[in-house]
Amino acid sequence: MEKLEQIYEGKAKKVFKTTDPERYIVDYKDDATAFNGAKKGTIVGKGVINNQMTNFFMQRMEAAGIPTHFVQELSERETLVKKVSIVPLEVIIRNISAGSFAKRYGVEEGIVFDAPTIEFSYKSDPLDDPLLNEYHALALKLATKEEIETIKKYAFAVNDVLKAFWAECGVTLVDFKLEFGKISDGSIVLADEISPDTCRLWDSKTHEKLDKDRFRRDMGGVEDAYAEVMKRMKAHDAN
């Protein structure tokens, strides 16, 4: 299968057509952005880590019965995926208060919820990804009721898989963002990525941040944090 022209470049990835109209190649970049692109930088090696970690978890999701866009890892930075039309909803699952949740509702970070929460944002950079509920999503025709129910079911199932895995690595899964897409037959699959860019990961003992918050908050040690979660993931997989 041949790589053809680039059709998209986002904040963290480039997407290319291939000679198969139903397959795309995703190329992960080291570029880092925060606050909807207001802050820009580079995290050296991030593209390799995010590509390989995403592929690792996508295969785990498939094994757990959650369909994904993953087809095959092609290189350190490139992956073959199914062509999807992205549902314009960012899906955020939260296990612990942090980030915008803590700020929005005036609570401290670190409150463990009795049950995970879910929230949706309208995937729109010009509008700054505003929060919305299911009724808004239906009114805007972003997804059907059935699609939203499927997305919720898959999102909570992803949380179960990730939470259990990271706990075994001495890492607490605080919250994370998912995106879903529709493949050619209209069915919903998990797309985008699962990485320290899209997950809040804290060391279970020290609560040290091991994710993109280190970049957002100018904490330093960003590359080390990404390398640390990758190391723990690989060590777990080797056992």
pLDDT at 38 exceeding the cut of 90:
no
**Alpha carbon distance 57, 70 (integer Å):** 10
**Alpha carbon distance 62, 40 (integer Å):** 33
Beta strand 89-96 pairing with 171-182:
antiparallel
| Beta-carbon contacts of residue 19 (< 8 Å; ≥ 6 apart) | 1, 2, 4
**Alpha carbon distance 175, 126 (integer Å):** 24
Classified as helix, coil or strand, 2 is coil
pLDDT at 35 exceeding the cut of 90:
no
Q: To the nearest whole percent, how much of the chain has pLDDT over 70?
A: 100
β-bridge partners, 94? 117, 175
**Alpha carbon distance 72, 82 (integer Å):** 10
pLDDT score for 70: 98
**Class of the CATH domain delimited by 85-223:** alpha beta
Domain boundaries, given as residue ranges, for the chain: 3-82, 85-223
State how far Cα 165 lies from the chain centre.
Answer: 16
Classified as helix, coil or strand, 196 is coil
pLDDT at 11 exceeding the cut of 80:
yes
Domains 3-82 and 85-223 share a fold: no
Q: What is the pLDDT of residues 53-109, one digit of tens each?
A: 999 999 999 999 999 999 999 999 999 999 999 999 999 999 999 999 999 999 999
- Sign of the C-alpha dihedral computed for residues 151, 157, 160 and 162 taken in this order: negative
Q: Does domain 3-82 have CATH number 3.30.200.20?
A: yes
Angle (CA) 194-4-28 rounded to 5° is 25
